[in-house]
Amino acid sequence: MKFALHIVVCAGIVPDPLQTLEPTSGPNGPGLKNEMVLPSVLDPWAASALYEAANLAAKNPASKVWLVSLGPKAKLQQVMMTVAQKASFELVAVDGPIGGFPDAHSTAAVLADAIVALPGLDRERMLLCGGWESATRGAGVTLQLIGERLGITDQFQGVDQIDLLDDGSFEVLERVEGGRHQVSVCAGGPAVLGWATGNLAEPRNNPQVGMANMRTIMPALQKAKAATLEANGLRYVSASLPRQQRVTRVEKNMSADEIALELVEWIGAE
Amino acid sequence: MESILVLTHTATSDEISGEPGSVLTRASLEVVTAGIQLSARLKATLTIGIVGNAEAADTLASVEAKLLAVSGMAFAQPRYASDAAACEALSRAANATIVLAPDSSRFARVMAGVAHRVGGVIDTHITAVGGTDHVEVTRWFYRQRVEAVLSRDARPWFLLLDAGTHAAFTGAAGSAIVEQISVELPAMRTTVKGIRAPKQDAQTIRPDAKMLFVAGAGWTKKQPDGQTHVDEAGKLILGFLRVAGASLGSSKSLVDQGGEGASVLPFLTHLNQIGQTGATPRHAKGLSTCCHGEEPHVVGWRFIGERRAISLDPNCGWTRGKADVVYVADAFQVMSRVNALLDEKKL
């Protein structure tokens, strides 16, 4: 049996992982040097959530996916040019600060307000998705806080798979310690799903999907509400790069036997 | 004046009896140590709360702390609705200003929600708790690329401590006095069915192993004879895991090959992935093979002590201050000899 799903995906934008990051100090606390000009991408685990959501929606007719994203409008527009070609969604943009240093509680409050205001969203059958941790703050709390604000008490984190069952319930696999999954069955929406990697590869760019998405993305960016994030008493004492830089010994002329002997000795050493 | 609550949980239920496990997890015992140290430093009162099975309190009998517990079948398995209600009840009963808890999958799932319910704030993945007359905590941002020290005025302040950052508490067991806290549970819409794990001989992720072995995409690439040797690669890797008792990690590019239809190592899953979109494990030593050592992968090595790499590329990322030793060599040849030597040692 197919069920029309209402899926809200919360996804931020993060610096491209290949960029060099350098923390700086500003009047509002730490930030990244040249943060606004660093190339950005959709947060990787949240991107997994988006692809899984789009896949679920495609299998269940009349389903809809909203992508709720908080960030500077110009950066959102830049990232959406690529993301729009990979999955069908309706963008809900909130114009606000970028980065991992703002308080997660404030971020959650802003995103929860944006979700509550979504026209046509049936919150009783909503699946609230996102990455289980971001690549910026990496705290794994924002989605949970949004869920609590929306009164959702069925929450799952580190999700790698969900399977919809005939009665509207779903089976969900969450990562737990030791490379294992906890298997649970939830009666159905509303539920929070903090995705880990999932099982889908990154979709190939589809210009037709991109064209369809862009019809709603540009208006969404134009009417994005501005949001400020309160510090909530959060104070940074310092933010710095790790000092650890190893002195690397590069061995180019050792034979395989010599290397093996050295490695075995190293492995056995306490 | 601060008051401290340490929240702990027992191991999940015994799959045969269905009863909650009766021992605290190692991560919980590490947080007990952190709580004892912090309360001594701040001269603060200490309360320890247990979710799961109150019998576990006996291992804490020697701690100068008030002991609270929420126990029963409903708390045998990790589940948001029941665990959040339990932790909320313990937090309200203790009325603490600082709440320490392990950053386990069980508590990471619920603790932000609990903090919200009691009007508090939360920070997670804490690697150090410092400060003299007030509390400052250390955590990483941008996937272990920027380290920050922060503090908060708001209370209660929930702190989830990463595993491996403190020694596990060990003290004489005894008969502890535990106050049971009652919990009003909402209707449960989620049923925990159990744990799905690879077969014992196929379990390649071993968090307690001394050694992390990382396989990169090079294992599945064409070798000097112009052919791929994926089967041989698989045997070498599994052979090393067996003789060295190592845990297996992987680069994203190798795991992703499975989704793209390429020939891959069948025992690898996304759970093995280390780095930006994978795990950041803690092991004393790490050996990387056939991996370029690019930053998105290496950020997952932040908590690996000694690092060595085998790569055919003398300019790979590992040579730029990311490893202690880089061997420019063919990993197939080296690992086959390493396995043979380790096998000989075991005989």
Claim to verify: residue B31 and residue B170 sit in the same structural domain? yes
Claim to verify: residue B162 and residue B206 sit in the same structural domain? no
Claim to verify: residue B121 and residue B233 sit in the same structural domain? no
Question: For residue A1, what pLDDT is reported?
Answer: 54
Is there a domain that residue A245 lies in? no
Is there a domain that residue B218 lies in? yes
The 3-state DSSP class for residue B113 equals helix
Q: B residues 169-198 near A, CB within 8 Å?
A: 186, 189-198
- Identify the CA nearest to A194 among candidates A5, A82, A53: A53
pLDDT at A244 over 80: no
Q: Which domain holds residue B124?
A: 3-180
> A110-124 pLDDT, tens per residue?
999 999 999 999 999
> A85-108 pLDDT, tens per residue?
999 999 999 999 989 999 999 999
Q: Is B212 exposed, middle or buried (0-12, 13-18, 19+ CB in 10 A)?
A: buried
Residue of B146, B159, B313 to mutate for A, most A C-beta atoms under 10 A:
B146
Average pLDDT of chain A to the nearest whole number: 94
Identify all chain A residues contacting B256, using CB atoms and an 8 Å cutoff.
201
Claim to verify: residue B142 and residue B214 sit in the same structural domain? no
Claim to verify: residue B144 and residue B64 sit in the same structural domain? yes
Taking CA–CA distances from B293, the nearest residue in chain A reads: A18
Identify whether A190 is preceded by a cis peptide bond (ω within 30 of 0). yes
Claim to verify: residue B236 and residue B293 sit in the same structural domain? yes
Question: For residue B18, what pLDDT is reported?
Answer: 63
- Which CATH number does the domain housing residue B221 bear? 3.40.50.1220
User: How confident is the model over A203-221, as a mean pLDDT?
Assistant: 94
Question: For residue A168, what pLDDT is reported?
Answer: 92
- Tokens standing for A1? 């049996």
Claim to verify: residue B173 and residue B205 sit in the same structural domain? no
Question: For residue B262, what pLDDT is reported?
Answer: 62
- Identify the CA nearest to A159 among candidates A48, A12, A2: A48
Lowest-confidence segment of A122-131, B10-19, B302-311 by average pLDDT: B10-19
Is there a domain that residue A10 lies in? yes
Claim to verify: residue B56 and residue B205 sit in the same structural domain? no
pLDDT at B37 over 60: yes
> B67-111 pLDDT, tens per residue?
999 999 999 999 999 999 999 999 999 999 999 999 999 999 999
Please check whether residue A182 touches B, CB under 8 A.
Answer: yes
User: How confident is the model over B221-239, as a mean pLDDT?
Assistant: 92
pLDDT at B268 over 90: no
Confidence of residue A205 (pLDDT cuts 50, 70, 90): very high
Is there a domain that residue A232 lies in? no
User: How confident is the model over A41-45, as a mean pLDDT?
Assistant: 95
Phi and psi based region of residue B112 (left: phi greater than 0; alpha: psi -120 to 50; beta: remaining): alpha
pLDDT at B274 over 60: yes
Question: For residue A210, what pLDDT is reported?
Answer: 95
Question: For residue A102, what pLDDT is reported?
Answer: 95
Question: For residue B277, what pLDDT is reported?
Answer: 82
- Please give the tally of structural domains in chain A: 1
Structure pTM? 0.91
Confidence of residue A201 (pLDDT cuts 50, 70, 90): confident
Claim to verify: residue B128 and residue B237 sit in the same structural domain? no
Lowest-confidence segment of B10-24, B293-307, B327-341 by average pLDDT: B10-24
Please give the single-letter amino acid code of residue A63: S
Gyration radius of chain A over CA positions? 21
Q: Which domain holds residue A136?
A: 6-226
Rounded to whole angstroms, the Cα distance separating A34 from B62 reads: 53
N- to C-terminal Cα separation, chain A = 58
Is there a domain that residue A209 lies in? yes
pLDDT at A190 over 60: yes
- Please give the tally of structural domains in chain B: 2
Please check whether residue B127 touches A, CB under 8 A.
Answer: no
Please check whether residue A141 touches B, CB under 8 A.
Answer: yes
State the complex-level ipTM: 0.94
Lowest-confidence segment of A107-111, B279-283, B343-347 by average pLDDT: B343-347
Question: For residue B14, what pLDDT is reported?
Answer: 57
Identify all chain A residues contacting B136, using CB atoms and an 8 Å cutoff.
237
Claim to verify: residue B21 and residue B164 sit in the same structural domain? yes
pLDDT at A74 over 80: yes
CB contact under 8 A, B122 and A104: yes
Question: For residue B261, what pLDDT is reported?
Answer: 60
User: How confident is the model over A12-33, as a mean pLDDT?
Assistant: 91
- Which CATH number does the domain housing residue A222 bear? 3.40.50.620
Confidence of residue B211 (pLDDT cuts 50, 70, 90): very high
User: How confident is the model over A159-175, as a mean pLDDT?
Assistant: 96
- Which CATH number does the domain housing residue B135 bear? 3.40.50.620
Taking CA–CA distances from B213, the nearest residue in chain A reads: A267
pLDDT at A3 over 90: no
CB contact under 8 A, B148 and A240: yes
Lowest-confidence segment of A24-28, A165-169, A209-213 by average pLDDT: A24-28
User: How confident is the model over B208-218, as a mean pLDDT?
Assistant: 94
Is there a domain that residue B51 lies in? yes
Is there a domain that residue B259 lies in? yes
